[in-house]
Chains A and B, each alone.
Chain A
Amino acid sequence: MISNLDYVTLQQIWWVLCSVVGALFLFLIFVQGGQTLLWQVAKTDTESSLVVNSLGRKWELPFTTLVLFGGALFASFPKFYSTSFGGAYWVWVLILFTFIIQAVSYEYRSKPGNVWGRKTYESFMFINGSVGVLLIGAAVGTFYTGSAFSLNDMNQVTWQYTLGGVNLRGLEAAFSLFNLSLGLFLVFNARVLGALYLLNNIDLSSVAQLEERLRKAVMTNFICSLPFLLYVVVSILLRKGFGVDENGVVSMVSFKYLFNLLALPHLLLLLLGGLGLVIWGVLLGALKGSYRGIWPAGLGTVLVGLCVLCLPAFNGTAFYPSTFDLQSSLTIYNASSSEYTLMVMTYVALFIPFLLAYVAYLWKQMDSKKISIEDALDHEAY
C-alpha cells in the first residue's frame, strides 16, 4: 500500500509525522516547566526531593523526543535541517547547551562529590526550563515571521541578518514580539503542565502545602500565559503569510494563515479543541481539586502544537520563509527527501504505534504507585 503513495502524499505524511513528534515534545516539556517551578513550589528539602524525583522519572522523554525530532527532520526535510541549523546557528547552539546541562543535573544533583553543589544543578534545570523553552518557542515562531537567508544553486545557506556589522545567526529571532510571545507562552504553558503533572505524580497526602502551591501555580501560570497566547493567536489570524503558487513562486499574501484555517477546518478544530482541553485541565487542577488535569491539558497542548506546526506548511504556504529572498523559502515540497527515502521511512514509521504502546505501558507500570517521601529519600533517588 505504501509503495502506491505518490510523492506529494509522502511529503505531506512526513510533515504531519514530524509535527506529531514536535507537538508531543511541546507536551513533554512539562518536565522543563516543572524544573522552573522547583524553587517556587518546594520550600523544604523533602519537597524539593519529591519534585525532582517525580520529574526525574521522565526527564529522558522530552530529551529523546527532541533528538527524534531532529533526526526526523534531518531524514525527511534535510534542506530545512541544513538551512535552519546551519543558518540560525546561535539559537540552536544555545538551545542545545541548555539540554546538555540538564542531562546530567538529575543524576548528579544529590550525589556525594558532585563538586559544584546542589544549587548549581538546580540552576541548570531552571535555565533549561526557561531559556531553553523560550528559544524553542522563538525558533518555532520563525515559521510565521521568517528569517533572513538565501540559498545558492547548490542549496548552501548564507545568513543575511547583521546588526552593527555582526551576523547574529538567528539570535535576531528574539527581537520579534511574535516570536518572543510564542516563546513566553510555551514557558508558561510548560509550567502549567509541570504543576499538573506533579499534582498527578506525587503522593501529596503528607505534603499538603506543596499541593496548595502547585494548584496555585497552575492558575497563576495559566493567567500569565493568556496575554501571550492572545497576541500570538490574533497575530496569526491577521498577519501576512508566505504563499506559494502552482509554479512554486513565493509571495506575501494578506491574512494567509486565517485563510489556511478556513480552508483546513480540521486545523481550526485542533486549535479550538486543544485550547478547550487545556482550559479544562487547568480548571481541574486549579479549582476542582482533581489530580487528573495533566491529561486533558497535555492532550490539548498536543492538538494546539499540531495546528501551530501544520498551519504554515499546508495550503500552498512556505513553512520556513526567507524575508531576504522570498524564492529561497522552504516548502514541504522543495525541502523534502527523495520519494524513495520517504517511502522507506514510511515503512519504518509503521512501528511507531508499537513504540508508543510500550512507552505508555512502561509509564503506567512506573506510575501505578505515586512518588512518596520514601522514594524521594531513597539512597538511589535523585
Chain B
Amino acid sequence: MIDVDPSLVSWSRAQFAFTAMYHWIFVPITLGLSFLCAFFETIYLKTGDEEWKKITRFWMTLFGINFAIGVATGIILEFEFGTNWSNYSWMVGDIFGAPLAIEGLFAFFMEASFFAVMFFGWDRVSKGFHCFSTWMVAIGSNLSAVWILVANGWMQNPVGMAFNADTARFEMQNFAEVVFNPIAVSKFTHTSSSGFVMASAFVLTVSCWYLIKKKHVEMAKKSIIVASVFGLVASCFVGFTGDEAAYEVAQKQPMKLAAMEGLYKGETGAGLVAIGIINNTKVPGDVQDPFLFEVKIPGMLSLLANREFGSFVPGIDDLVYGNKEHDIMGVNTMMEKGKLALADLAAYKQARKSKDDATAEAALARFDVNKQFMGYGYLDTPEEAVPPVNIVFNSFHLMAILGSMFPVIFGAFLFFTLKGTVSEQRWLLPVGLFTGLLALFAQQAGWVTAEVGRQPWAIQGLMPVKIATTNLSTTSVQITFAMFAAVFTVLLIAEISIMLKAIAAGPEVH
C-alpha cells in the first residue's frame, strides 16, 4: 500500500462531503416534487379543470429550476469515486460499478428523455401521454436513487462478494444479495420517503408564503391539500423505515449505533436518549460521564436495536476493548488478526511473483482464516475505529426530533385545509413557512449520521478511508475543493434568485 499524507485523506473526505451535501440540497426536492407534479397533472387529466393545469405548470417550473442544479452537482459525484478514491474504486468496482451502470442505463435515460416531453411537450403530445411522461420522470428520478443507495448500502454492509487475492479486489458472487441487502432496502425506503417529505414541505413553505401575502390563495390551498396528504403519509412512513434502518444499523454497524446514542458502556435494557448534551472531553475507556445532561426513555434503545426490551446493547468501550461476558470481540483483537491477514496477503503476492506455488498456497490458506478482519489491519490504534461521537449523536438527534415533528405539521395543515380555515390560522402559517428549511436540516443531518457514523470505514470493516484515496498531492485536492466551492456557490446564488423570482411571479404568467 502507498502511504498517503493524512491531510490528503481529510481534504478528499471534505471534498466528497461538500459535493455530496450540496447535491443533496436539491435531490430530495426532485424526488418528491416530481411525484407531486404527477399528482397535480393527474388531477387535471381527470377533472379537466384548467386551474389544476396552471398549478401543475407552476410547480413544474420550480421543479425545472431545482432539477438543473441537481444534475449539475450530481455528475461530479459519480466521477469523484475515480478521481479522488481510485484505490477504493478498483477494490469495489466489480460490485459497485454494476448498480451505477444500471442507474445510468435505466433511470437517467428515463429521466432525461421524458423530461423534454414534460417541459416542452404540452402542445406536441396528447394530454394523456404528457401526464404519462411526468410520471416517468418521477419514477426515473426515484429509480436513480435505488441504485446509488444499493451501492451505498453495500459500503455499510458488504455482502454477496469475496476478496480475490490475485486481483486484489472484492468480487461479486451474488447480485441478488447485493441488491436486496437489508441495509440497502431500508436505506432506499427511508431516503426516498424522506425526499417526499422534503418536497411536500417545500410546497407547504411556498404555499404558506402566498397565504400570508394573500396572493394566489386558491392555488396555495389546493397545493397544500395534495402536499399535506403526501407529506403526512410519507412522514409516517419515514418513521417506520427509520425504525427499520436503526435496527439494521444495530445489527450490522453496532459502533455507529453506539455513537448515535453516545453509549460507551453497554447496557441490558438500555435507554434511548431523547435529548442530551455530549461531554466532548470523553474518550473511550475513561470513566467520565458521556453526557453533561441527558433525558432517557428506559429500555427503549434495547427495543429499537434488538426488538427486545431487556436485551444487551454494546457500547463503544465493549466494541473497542471487547466484552467476554457478551462474547464481543474487541477492535484490539481484530487488529491483530487483520495485521496477520495483510502480512499473509503480502507473502502470497510475493510468492506468486517468484512462482513459488507451495509458499503461495500456504500463505493464501492463512490469509483466508483472517481475511474478514483485513480492514482492521490498517488501523494504528483500537480507538481509531470510533467515529466522532459528538457529530454523530447531534446529527442523529436533530434528524429524529425534526422527523417526529413533520407528521404533526402535515396533519394540522390537512385538518385545517379540509375544514376550510387554513388561511385563518395565523399561528400555523409561519410554521408552514419554515417547514421546508426544517426538512432540509433533517435531510442533511440524516446523511451526516449515516456517513460520519461509519467512519473510519469506506467499506465497513474491510477498507478504511485512509487507504481508499487516490495518491494525489494535498494541494491538488485543496484547489479542486476551492473550485467546487466557488462554482457551486455561484450556481446556488443564481438558483435561489431565479427560484424567488419565479415564486414572486406566481402561476399567472402561465
Residues of chain A having any CB pair with chain B under 8 Å: 57-58, 60-61, 63-64, 66-68, 70-72, 74-76, 78-79, 81-87, 89-90, 92-93, 96-97, 99-104, 106-108, 111-116, 152-159, 167, 169, 337-338, 340-341, 344-345, 348-349, 351-352, 355, 358-359, 362-363, 365-366, 368-369, 375, 379-380
Q: Which residues of B contact A104 (CB under 8 A)?
A: 68-69, 72, 491, 494-495
Would B65 and A57 count as touching, CB distance under 8 A?
no
Q: Are A60 and B497 in contact (CB under 8 A)?
A: no
B366 within 8 A of partner (CB)? no
CB of A380 within 8 A of CB of B119, answer yes
Can you name the residue of chain B whose Cβ is closest to the Cβ of A365?
Answer: B125
Partner of B100, one of A75, A156, A363: A75
Complex alpha-carbon distance, A233 and B91, angstroms: 37
Once bound together, how far apart are the Cα atoms of A111 and B119, in whole Å? 15
| B185 CB-CB contact with A under 8 Å | no
Mark the stretch among B35-43, B47-55, B80-88, B297-305 that contacts chain A: B80-88
Name which of B101-109, B201-209, B280-288, B419-427 contacts chain A.
Answer: B101-109
Knowing A68-B109, A85-B89, A365-B121, say if A93 contacts B83 (CB, 8 Å): yes
Chain B residues with CB below 8 A from A112, complex form: 498, 501-502, 505
Q: State whether B100 touches A71 (Cβ < 8 A).
A: yes
Can you offer 8 A-B residue contacts whose CB atoms are under 8 A? A67-B75, A85-B79, A86-B89, A107-B67, A111-B502, A337-B93, A337-B97, A351-B106
The B contact surface, by secondary structure, is helix
CB of A2, distance to nearest CB on chain B (Å): 13
Q: Smallest Cβ distance from A11 to chain B, in angstroms?
A: 13
> Among the listed B71, B105, B124, B495, which residue makes an inter-chain contact with A348, where contact means beta carbons less than 8 Å apart?
B105
A67 lies within 8 A of B471 (CB): no
Which residues of A have CB within 8 Å of B497?
Answer: 113-115
Residue of A58, A93, A103 touching B71 (CB-CB under 8 A): A103
A90–B119 CB distance below 8 A? no
Q: Across the interface, which residues of A come within 8 angstroms of B369, CB to CB?
A: none
Known: A363-B113, A365-B129. 14 other contacts (CB 8 A): A63-B75, A71-B101, A72-B101, A81-B86, A86-B84, A89-B83, A92-B79, A157-B470, A348-B98, A355-B106, A355-B109, A365-B124, A366-B125, A369-B124
CB-based contact B89/A81 at 8 Å: yes
CB neighbours (8 Å) of A70 from chain B are 78-79, 82, 104
Question: Which of A70, A75, A84, A106 has the most C-beta atoms of chain B within 10 angstroms of its own C-beta?
Answer: A75
Task: Tell whether B376 is near chain A: CB-to-CB under 8 Å.
Answer: no
Contact string against A for B residues 483-510, beta-carbon threshold 8 Å, 1 for contact and 0 otherwise? 1000100110111011011100100011
| Chain B residues near A358 (CB-CB < 8 A) | 113
B127 adjacent to chain A (CB < 8 Å):
no
Is B274 interfacial (CB 8 A cutoff)? no
CB of A243, distance to nearest CB on chain B (Å): 23
**Docked-complex contact B83 and A344, CB < 8 angstroms:** no
Residue A81 contacts which of B93, B95, B104, B502 (CB distance < 8 angstroms)?
B93
Contacting residue for A79 out of B68, B90, B105, B114, CB 8 A? B90
Contacts of B75 in A (CB 8 A): 63, 66-67, 96, 99-100, 103
Whether A167 pairs with B94 at a CB distance below 8 angstroms is no
